[in-house]
Amino acid sequence: MKWTARFILTLTIVVIVILLISYGVYQSMFKKVAENKIVIYTYESLLKWGTDPNATLQAVYGGFEEKYGCKVEIREFDDARTALLALMQEKDSPKADVIIGIDNILIHEAINADVLEPFIPPNVNDIPEWLINSLDPTHYVIPYDYGLIAFVYDSKRFSQEKMAGLTFEDLLNPEIASKLVLEDPTISSTGINFLLWQIAAYKMQGKDWTTWWASIKESALIAGSWGDAYDIFLDEAQKRPIVVSYGTDPAYSYHFYQETRYKAALVEYGGKEWAWLQIEGIGLVKGAPHKGLAKKFIEYFLSPEVQKYIPLNNWMYPANSKTDLPDVYKKYAINPLKVNLMNEILTQQEIKENLKSWLNAWREIVGG
Amino acid sequence: MSRRGPVVSKLGIISLALMLGLWGVSSFGLLLHGIPSLPEAIEDRAIRRAFKFSFAQAFASALLSIVLAIPMAYLDATYDFNGRKVLKAVVTMPFTLPTISVALSFLLLSRKGIVPPGWPSIIAAHTYFNFGMCSQILSATLASISTDVEEAADTLGASYWLKLKAIVLPLVMKGILYSFTLTFVLCFTSFAIPLLLGGPRYRTLEVEIYSLYKVFLDRKLASGAAILQLAATGLISIIALRSWPAARSKEARLRRGIPKDPFHIALLAYYCIMACLALYPVVYLAFRSLFNPITDEFSLGVYIKVLSRIFDPSLGSSPLSSLINSLFFAIMTSLTTLVAASLLISSTHRIKSLGMLISLLPLGTSSISLALGLYSIGSKFQVPGWILITFSHFLISAPFAFRSLEAGASAIDPVFVEAAETLGLDRLGATFKVLLPLILPSILVGGFYAFAMSISETSAVALLSTPETQTLTVAALKYSGVRRFQEATAISVIVCLLTWALLGLQGLVERWMKWARR
């Protein structure tokens, strides 16, 4: 055998082809032959925050598979925005049946993109009407959980007294601002929710919201995502013991570590606590290939059977009013029903019309 | 030089057509929406600001990486000493790290006041990420240049500085330009590092494009900005590639023992310091993967977990299958890019330069728009995700293979190839029988970087993969998304070990080839 040029070249190409074929065969072994299936698009951390995420996912998706004798295919994206972006890319030939995770901000863009179809599940009466109306009165998506955005702080590194009765204006004090980690609203979903909270607070007082950012940008740290922000918060060497996160965080750290040092705080105006509510919804994809099953799945996901997993696995309040809350919630989480919601100050219409110009203004002030 | 058979050009054109076709198909939407929105993108103040910053930091980072790499490359290519291979492997490590780990370690350094925050920390992180890669390409170029001239200069009493300026630099100019353009393009389009270290103020164009796509859902403006990015990276590459003629050499470099004078000892010390710096984040990651902060315990258990065949619902598949997928994509990428590169360097000068330029297009194309482009192709024509991932990895890795091979080949005197042709071989035969064996170090470097690019690539696979086709990096992303950091860091360490294993394997191949030649 002579190692001629053609021989080496042919050999390499043959190896490449053999590799391709065998990998193709390997991949085809995974193909589920199930005719009866449903494809769900969601974000990658849905229901994975519990003690045994494997068991939870098995109970939720496996439970549906057993009940309807079908296969559930989950496609996870790094967040709900990317899942929506994927729906938009395949608008002409939809692959997904259901999307989980469209929140009260993303909803405007989702409706605008024309990738969803309104659907009212039979058990809709178990979901409080105010919640449905705050997310989407037109029923493109139905709420499955909700929770508050809050300032989470480490009480060992920052005193509890200083966080009590806090206003946005107090945060501008360099002593507090230099300890704060925020999220960039032009990149992160948590960041947008926080921005709207702050805009609403300033609107309530008749003030220009941009002045707050012009001042805080010098000393607060603005991270690209909630995960990055939380890493910086937890890493004591970074010296940033306050982070914008969720009102259920203290319940989470108590549940897992019996740790009470992490606490959540809201803002206070006129002797009342004010907060911003994030509501997440599930929706039917327009032109879904398996529409019948998809409708069943939405109903199933909103039923107490699944909703009971929400508090300790997604760390949000379940939307279904027939679901019991665990004790840690009663003791350590901030209950959205007991505070004033800033969401009422910014109407859905206002958000729809102004979100992009607010984000643009933010880009100019903080980035410039 | 005039004898070039028709077979030759045709085969080089296959590589060209493959690159251009794949890129064109995936970027069709981008071009369609982007070109009309170009004026709007240029008007946008935030985009303009991001463009300026991208350009400035990429230029500075690329320059700094090369300046730091030259002494290491020189030492590595000229002398043989114990531990040379280990040092070389260690300084290449940063390039194979997940960029997010690099960003996090630099954030910590800037918080401690070791690196100034803001843009200096971005340049520092980019330099750290790329200097080893530059050193490898430079060293491979130098390795194909004979030491004769330098020895002559020594005899004539030239100083080190003069030798560097008058002999070494001109000889490696091609390698310098290649590594400069690669580093420039990588830094210009960088995402994770500026996102974490620069905050909203120091944003690269890629961060801006990502935000426009995902948060503003403004596909038109995002595409316009992406075209701007493509134009800038393309322009720099054209300027760099149309430059200096390559130096030629008549025989391969022979490594000799390192002299014991202060200058060389200082060089060696410098090399060792850089290696320690390169090692720091890897050690940090390895520590984090072994240490469980909840139970305060050290154990290797996490490695058993991330290599198990047991189905993990958090991933939607078993961790072992992500390892298999990663290896498949990486091996596939190395093989295909090397074949394409070999065909390309056997072609005419014109096709070669065109190939060099075209190969940079995918790297200069915003990765989120490239991934979205492939995604819509996949859904329109029912192409399986794994084929799209193979395509995208070929596209982003090809420039590394092309540049390494071409940098090596440009240092070889064409007389060798011409002689072989006179003896009756066609150009392709001459390339394979004569040229390729001469530039073996460059081929190994090219293959290594193609492998490394593929195995650490995240943005395309994250969008294109299903649980069955997800790679190690996507698994790490999913684990860190639910704050299972031990698993996430353990996977990063495994990726490092795999690339290290490949370096070891390449060392063996090199030794075997030397032995076979004797």
Inter-chain contacts counted by CB atoms under 8 A, chains A and B: 158
**Contact of A147 with A248, CB cutoff 8 Å:** yes
Confidence category of residue A34, pLDDT binned at 50, 70, 90: low
DSSP assignment string, B73-95: HHHHHHEE-TTHHHHHHHHHHHH
pLDDT level of residue B171 (50, 70, 90 thresholds): confident
Give the integer Cα–Cα distance in Å for A191 and B214. Answer: 13
Q: Give the model's pLDDT for residue B251.
A: 56
The count of C-alpha atoms lying within 13 angstroms of the C-alpha of B467, restricted to the half-sphere facing its C-beta, is: 21
CA distance A272 to chain B (A): 32
DSSP state string for B2-15: ----HHHHHHHHHH
Question: Amino acid identity of B257?
Answer: G
Asked if A161 reaches chain B (Cβ–Cβ under 8 Å), the answer is no
Spans of all domains in chain B:
6-517
Q: Please name the residue that has the structure tokens 């390559």.
A: B246
**Over 70: is that where the pLDDT of A3 sits?**
no
What CATH number belongs to A147-277+340-367? 3.40.190.10
CB contact under 8 A, B432 and A8: yes
Section A308-318 average pLDDT: 96
Q: Fold for domain B6-517?
A: MetI-like fold (1.10.3720)
**Does the beta carbon of B217 lie under 8 angstroms from any beta carbon of chain A?**
yes
Summarize pLDDT for A194-250 with one digit per residue, the tens. 999 999 999 999 999 999 999 999 899 998 888 889 888 988 878 899 999 999 999
> Which residues touch A248 (CB under 8 Å, ≥6 apart)?
A147, A148, A264, A311, A315, A316, A317, A329, A333, A334
B contact residues 121-150, partner A, Cβ 8 Å cutoff: none
Taking CA atoms, B393 is separated from A9, B334, B451, in Å, by 21, 9, 9
d(CA A363, CA B190): 19
Of A60 and B279, which is predicted with more confidence?
A: A60
Fold entry, domain A37-146+278-334: D-Maltodextrin-Binding Protein; domain 2 (3.40.190)
Question: What's the pLDDT band for B1 if we cut at 50, 70, 90?
Answer: very low
Q: Which residues of B touch A53 (CB under 8 A)?
A: 313-314, 482
Task: List Cβ neighbours of A25 (8 Å cut-off, separation of 6 or more).
Answer: none
Q: Is A37's Cβ below 8 Å from some Cβ in B?
A: no
C-alpha gyration radius of chain B: 23
Asked whether A329 and A248 are in contact (CB, 8 A), the reply is yes
Point out the residue among B338, B380, B480 whose CB comes nearest to the CB of A93.
B380
| Residues of chain B positioned with their CB less than 8 A from the CB of A232 | 107
Q: Is B5 in CB contact (< 8 Å) with chain A?
A: no
Extended beta strands in B249-345, E state = 256-257, 291-292, 297-298
Task: Tokens 């032995």: give the residue.
Answer: B515
Q: What is the pLDDT of residues B67-82, one digit of tens each?
A: 999 999 988 888 888 8
A positions 242-261 inside 8 Å of B (CB): 256-257
Q: Is the pLDDT of residue B8 over 60?
A: no
Categorize the per-residue pLDDT at A84 as very low, low, confident or very high, splitting at 50, 70 and 90. Answer: very high
Distance CA B432, CA B252 (A): 17
Q: How confident is the model at residue A33 (pLDDT cuts 50, 70, 90)?
A: low
- Copy the structure tokens of residue A348: 């859905």
Q: Are A267 and A172 in contact (CB under 8 A)?
A: no
Most B CBs within 10 Å: which of A19, A21, A71, A89, as the mutation test of the B interface? A89
The alpha-carbon radius of gyration of chain A (Å, integer) is 24
> Where are the domains positioned within chain A?
37-146+278-334, 147-277+340-367
Residue A63, chain B, CB below 8 Å: the answer is no
Task: Tell me what pLDDT residue B74 has.
Answer: 87
Which residue of B lies nearest to A28 if distances are taken between CA atoms?
Answer: B468
The answer to whether A156 contacts chain B (CB < 8 Å) is no
Contact criterion met (CB below 8 Å) for A301 and A310:
no
Topology match between the domains A37-146+278-334 and A147-277+340-367: yes
CA distances from B44 to B51, B222, B438, B476 (A): 11, 11, 51, 36
Whether the CB-CB separation of B204 and B57 falls below 8 Å is answered with: yes
Summarised one tens digit per residue, pLDDT across range B465-495 is 888 889 998 888 888 777 777 888 888 888 8
Check residues B516 and A356 and name the one with the higher pLDDT.
Answer: A356
What phi, psi does A77 have (nearest 5°)? Answer: -120, 165
d(CA B375, CA B512): 43
Residue with token string 């890019």: B337
B517 touches A: beta carbon within 8 Å = no
Which A residues, 265 through 324, put their C-beta within 8 Å of a C-beta on chain B? none
CA gap B286, B300 in Å, rounded? 10
Compute the nearest-CA separation of A117 from chain B (Å).
20
Which of A4, A12, A13 lies nearest to residue B429, judging by beta carbons? A4
Report the first-to-last Cα separation within chain B, whole angstroms. 30
Contacts by B109-112 with C-beta closer than 8 Å and gap 24+? B110/B197, B111/A237, B111/A238, B111/A239, B112/A237
Q: Tell which B residues from 367 to 426 touch A, by Cβ distance under 8 Å.
A: 372, 375-376, 379-380, 384, 386, 390, 425
Alpha carbon distance B499, B13 (integer Å): 31
